Amino acid sequence: MRLPLGYPELLATLLTLLGLIPESLTSWEEWWTYDGISGPGFWGLINPQWGLCSKGRRQSPVDIQPDKLLYDPRLRPLHVDKHKISGSLFNTGQSLVLRVDQDSKHHVNISGGPLDYRYQLVEGYIHYGTHDGHGSEHRVNGYSFPAEIQLYGFNAELYHNMSEAQHKSQGIVAISLMLQIGDRPNPELRVITSSFGQVGFRGQSAPIRHLSVRALLPDTDHYMTYEGSTTHPGCWETTVWILLNKPIYITKQELYALRKLMQGSPETPKAPLGNNARPLQSLNHRTVRTNIDFFREKDKNCPTMYKDHYYQATWGEENRLQGRNFADTSR
Ligand SMILES: *[C@@H]1O[C@H](CO)[C@@H](O)[C@H](O)[C@H]1NC(C)=O
Ligand SMILES: *[C@@H]1O[C@H](CO)[C@@H](O)[C@H](O)[C@H]1NC(C)=O
């Protein structure tokens, strides 16, 4: 469908006149949502610069199918600096976003893994559902986790900042952490979850101090990687995704506090902030690679380079309760 020129501007003006969006919010950056006429199906239409959201063929999130993963022996361990950072947690009305202070001399570097450059951590997004059955954007074998934290960095060797890098080749890295409900929560996650009470409404923020992003990561060297996009507008297809092969844990109480956050202001709270997941995008002809050598365990004498060999795994209820990897070497 071709829309007449000026359609987004007209629509915004109309909605403002109707009082559906406050005048102060008419900037495109701010009034996209996860449902209705400004939801994911329309992101590519409401702002001409976000065309990839509707036309892109290398979009995220995707469903990771363990039996289609390709083992790549050239994938190295991922490196994330372990020192502590400061920043702020911000309720944008669309998501809960962790913004890492960029003025400090010691940036958190992300390198290794599938990356050919050094990336600098900039922000983290928390996606979650209002019920346990869904929440994460990426899925594993169709399974949706209660929440997903996405850590975004930009290529600091080639570019100056995220806004420049997002348009450019090899511009962005995104690390995905799946969150599962458990009694032994990730201690570092507490640094973030203890601030949920201060970011109940749109525009509110809370300082975050002494957070080690590395300590937040699950205890595994294994990951899956593919080339995709940011899962928020403008859906930039310059993103290398790295999905860690184990969840971290969040308590029911922390999740409950998260679900109390709202999309609107204290005067007009609107709907809960949760369910901020973009629908799954088609993988098309992309390959999802992994550094899990699923044959070595079976037969240590075999060479490790296999072509056209995949491994099978399932991620179901039984694994969920045992804290197993998403993808396992057992067949
Ligand atoms: C990140 O990399 C830059 C450039 O190599 C370096 O100056 C900085 O110290 C690194 N950060 C840490 C915490 O090692
Ligand atoms: C990002 O870097 C570019 C190029 O140096 C610069 O023009 C732009 O103002 C920067 N943007 C922000 C938000 O700092």
**Per-residue model confidence as pLDDT tens digits over 173-194:** 999 999 999 988 899 999 999 9
Q: Which ligand has the shortest distance to the CA of 164? A: 2
Cα 98 to Cα 72, 166, 196: the distances in Å are 32, 18, 12
Nearest ligand to the C-alpha atom of residue 167: 2
Distance CA 39, CA 57 (A): 19
Indicate whether residue 164 lines ligand 2 (CB < 6 A): yes
61 cis-preceded (ω within 30 degrees of 0)? yes
Is 83 a pocket residue for ligand 1 (Cβ < 6 Å)? yes
Of 31, 67, 30, nearest to 290 (Cα)? 67
Q: Which of 164, 166, 167, 172 to mutate to test the pocket of ligand 2 (most atoms within 8 A of CB)?
A: 164
Structure tokens at 292: 């899990």
- Give the tens place of pLDDT for each residue, 230-260: 999 999 999 999 999 999 999 999 999 999 9
Mean pLDDT of the chain: 87
Task: Determine phi and psi for 272, rounding to 5 degrees.
Answer: -60, 150
Sequence spans of domains, the chain: 42-290
Q: Is the CB of 109 under 6 A from ligand 1?
A: yes
**With pLDDT > 90 as the criterion, what percentage of the chain qualifies?**
75
Please check whether residue 109 is in contact with residue 79, taking contact to mean a CB–CB distance below 8 angstroms. yes
Contacts by residues 18-22 (CB-CB < 8 Å, ≥ 24 positions apart): none
pLDDT for 114: 98
Mean pLDDT of 128-136: 96
Report the separation in Å between the CA atom of 81 and the middle of ligand 1, taken as the mean of its atom positions.
8
Fold of 42-290: Carbonic Anhydrase II (3.10.200)
pLDDT value at 316 more than 80: no
- Could you tell me whether strands 172-181 and 147-155 are parallel, antiparallel, or unpaired per DSSP bridges? antiparallel
* Phi, psi (degrees; rounded to nearest 5) at 185: -70, 160
Question: Which of 101, 120, 163 is the best mutation target for the ligand 2 pocket, counting ligand atoms within 8 Å of the beta carbon and taking the most?
Answer: 163
Which residues belong to the active site?
A: 159
Cα(157) to ligand 1 centroid in Å equals 11
Separation of CA 144 from chain center = 13
